[in-house]
Amino acid sequence: MCADALTLENARSLLGLTGPVGAEGLTLAFRAAVKAARPDAPGGDAETFRRVIAAYRLLQAQTLALPAPASHAKPTHFTPPPAPAPLLVLTPMHAISGGCVRTIVGARTLLVHAPSGVRTGDKIRLKGGGPNGADALLPVLIRPADGLSVLGGDLFMTWAVPQRMMDDGGRIEIMTHAGLRSSWLVPDMVEPVRLRLKGLGLPARGNRPAGDLFVKLEASADLPSAAEDLLLRFTRVWTPERIAA
């Protein structure tokens, strides 16, 4: 999709936005999305990186467009910008499983419950966390961690496989956050190779379906092939000492 074909709906989807958002929330969502889409990041690639930037520019033009001040307007005194609003920074595993996360709000360190399936750009209501005991809304930011990154509801990771498996094809096992998952490779796959494991992204939340897990395969000459791994396991079991026993 070229940049000029982006619709507002497509742009919001690329940044993982599902509801109304201001300039600050848009910037937070863009930073998380563009970091995850960087070509040198796990699961990133140049095309997604370019589309995320184009989406941000489109939404920024819609969100930040303000009427120009009149030329006869009187100069105003400089007012220092307000302190940045607190964020609820989560890891991908927090977003997958939910749980309590420590965050700093003003001078206080609070324990905030993050529900399973929360996305970047969502807001968590913190009762009594605002000025004068009012409720506060904490924007969510999911940062890459533990080999996982998040874009919208999808997860991205990298997995090393033997070079011979990439050349000859075969069955591989991938250790995901949900346990071992198997997949088949065909011979002579063109790199970069990405597998899509449906339903293994962020859990469904509200009217948003579960995301998918995208696995980028990296060939490694240091890893044993499936046959070599099986032979190693067989050798460990049937050593002379075990036979003698």
Q: What percentage of the chain reaches a pLDDT higher than 90?
A: 26
Distance spanning both ends of the chain, measured CA to CA: 66
pLDDT at 85: 60
Q: Closest Cα partner for 93 from 159, 143, 31?
A: 143
- Residue 51: the pLDDT is 85
Decide: 187 and 167 in contact? Cβ < 8 Å. yes
Whether 214 shows a pLDDT value over 70: the answer reads yes
Rg over CA atoms, the chain? 24
Tell me what percent of the chain is helix, strand and coil, each rounded to the nearest 5. Answer: 30, 30, 40
Question: Do the beta carbons of residue 216 and residue 157 sit within 8 Å?
Answer: yes
pLDDT, tens only, 172-193: 999 999 999 999 998 877 778 8
- Per-residue tokens: 150: 């998040």
Taking all residues of the chain, what is their mean pLDDT, rounded to a whole number?
78
Lowest mean pLDDT: which of 60-64, 169-173, 195-199?
A: 60-64
Task: For residue 49, give the DSSP letter.
Answer: H
- What pLDDT, in 10s, does the model give residues 120-146? 989 888 776 666 666 778 889 999 988
Domains of the chain: 3-63+85-142 (2.60.260.20), 153-237 (2.60.260.20)
Query: Which stretch of 41-45, 187-191, 199-203 has the lowest confidence by average pLDDT?
Result: 41-45
Is pLDDT above 60 for 206? yes
